[in-house]
Amino acid sequence: MSPPHGRGSDSRPLHAPAASGGILAVPGFDALPALVEANRRRLNSSDVRIGGIPLRELRQRARSEVGAPSDGPLLLAGHQPELSHPGVWVKNFALNGLARKLRGTPLNLIVDNDTVKSTFLRVPAFANDPASVHLEQIRFDAIAGEVPYEGREVVDSDLFRSFPERVGAIAGNWGFEPLLPQVWRQGQNIGELFSAMRQECERAWGCESLELPVSRLTRTEAFRIFAGHILADLPRFGASYNAAIRDYRRRNRVRSANHPAPELAPGEAPFWIQGNGRRERATADSDVCQLRPRALTLTLFARLCLGDFFIHGIGGGKYDEVTDAIIRDYFGIEPPAYQVLTATLHLPLPAFPGTADDVRRLRGIIRDLHWNPQRHLNGADRSDARALRQAADRIDLAADEPPRSDRRGRREWFHRLRELTAALRPLVQSDVPVAEAALERAEADARANAILQRRDYSWVLFPETVLRPFLQKFLTA
């Protein structure tokens, strides 16, 4: 990692923590104050002009329009207004904690221009045995196509109203009370409802930030200047945009045409046109008043024209490698640093004794019983002189492997090794079904635990007694 620039210059693979309570923060929290200050100096001293306006002036206008104070750093995070898992939610608390440390302003962008991808939550269900463990998909609303959150109203009010009760019927044997029935609210717009539930908990738990839906951000003059600049210079910007995506795919060996984002077709702009509850692809002739940013364009504007530092999750952090390349190539400046932050918190559900480590260990034992029976002779076998002699011969022979150049010697060695192994196998044959039965139990337990210990369960399924202290740790990280 390059110290001056933080995550923006680090392309190492990022992986979410496996253990409950684990945290991934790249760069670490101690490095952030210096990175924030470096970002501010770089962005506010740049001679880049956007829409004919110096970048410093555009940034001041953007801050004013979103209601942020003119002094102190403006720190950003953002996510869709969905019922996300705690690993996503930690960004809001870390953002608030960093703002306190630096006497800055935390601003959470509610990405309500993204579409609602699903209308259900995955809920673990189980009884007393591992075979009973499975996932239930509990709907909170009817399917209505991929409509953006900003225009997504509740379709089936009865289904929405009864959601906590239906989840509660599954969670009755969990041993704790989920937050869901306490926070669930009725209303019209799903994105606004989900955001209100989250914000209510944040305020009660000491985390208060400015909140701004992207649909409102796009109404600011600063955003429209930025969007108009891109539309007016679309061929050059589009070339930089596509080159950055292709370079990302090459470096990461990605074959998908949609990852990390589709390339722009000739004449296509990196925005959506929002109207009548549906999205269409924008062009150079599109009305800037109807534009909504795509993922890369949103973080490009947020990091370059609005904030001083951005806290991403793993997905956003990887995609912003592309944004960094666009900033370097198109705007000609070194991109501001950002942090990638996520965490893992498991539901406090009971676990079965068998683990993935047990499965690997037992599979190794079964293989070893077949190929190295001499290692598993029991007491009775060890009193058999013939068995002991064969085991010793097997050990000595394995240690005396002929060189690869001695083909004939290696053939003879291999045949003798196979003969001794076959002669010893009957002595441990009774151990095989015992090990196989233990493996079957461990595999069933591990499969059940993999469901019970998923990291992507929504925060509304957790008890406050577990979730609240975990999140509040990030206020002082």
pLDDT band at 206 (very low <50, low <70, confident <90, very high): very high
User: What is the Cα–Cα distance from 192 to 219, expressed in whole angstroms?
Assistant: 18
CB 61 within 8 A of CB 445: no
Answer yes or no: do 405 and 311 share one domain. no
Q: What is the mean pLDDT of residues 79-94?
A: 98
Average pLDDT over residues 432-452: 97
pLDDT at 3 (0 to 100): 36
Query: Domain range holding 310?
Result: 6-116+188-349+455-476
Per DSSP, 261 falls in state: -
Structural tokens at position 433? 């079904």
* Residue 413 near residue 397, CB atoms below 8 Å: yes
Output the average pLDDT for the chain. Answer: 93
Is residue 130 one of the residues assigned to a domain?
A: no
Name residue 153's beta-bridge partners.
Answer: 189
Q: Which of the pair, 390 or 197, is modelled with greater confidence?
A: 197
What is the 8-class DSSP label of residue 304? I
Q: Closest Cα to residue 343, out of 198, 202, 467?
A: 467
HEC string for 319-381: HHHHHHHHHHHHHCCCCCCEEEEEECCCCCCCCCCCCHHHHHHHHHHHHHHHHCHHHHCCHHH
Give the count of domains, the chain. 2
Residue 292 contacts residue 113 (beta carbons within 8 Å): yes
- pLDDT of 461 over the 60 cut: yes
Regarding whether 229 and 93 lie in a shared domain, the answer is yes
Cβ(298)–Cβ(275) below 8 Å: no
Q: Do the domain assignments include residue 362? A: yes
Q: Is 296 inside a domain boundary?
A: yes
Q: In terms of domains, do 27 and 79 share one?
A: yes
User: Is 42 a domain residue?
Assistant: yes
Other Cβ atoms closer than 10 A to 281: 16
pLDDT number for residue 4: 38
Q: State what percent of residues in the chain have pLDDT above 70.
A: 96
Same domain, 366 and 309: no
> 254 and 364 share a domain?
no
Q: CB neighbours (10 Å) of residue 42? A: 17
- Asked whether residue 436 is assigned to any structural domain, the reply reads yes
Q: What is the pTM of this model?
A: 0.90
Exposed/middle/buried for residue 195 (C-beta within 10 Å: 0-12, 13-18, 19+) = buried
Position 190 scores a pLDDT of 97
Residues 242 and 222 in one domain: yes
Sign of CA dihedral 271, 274, 277, 278: negative
**pLDDT: which is higher, 138 or 394:** 138
Same domain (yes/no): 430, 293? no
304 and 396 in a single domain? The answer is: no
Kindly state whether residue 141 falls inside one of the protein's structural domains.
no
* Same domain as 384, residue 336: no
* Distance separating alpha carbons of residues 194 and 335, to the nearest angstrom: 33
pLDDT band at 279 (very low <50, low <70, confident <90, very high): confident
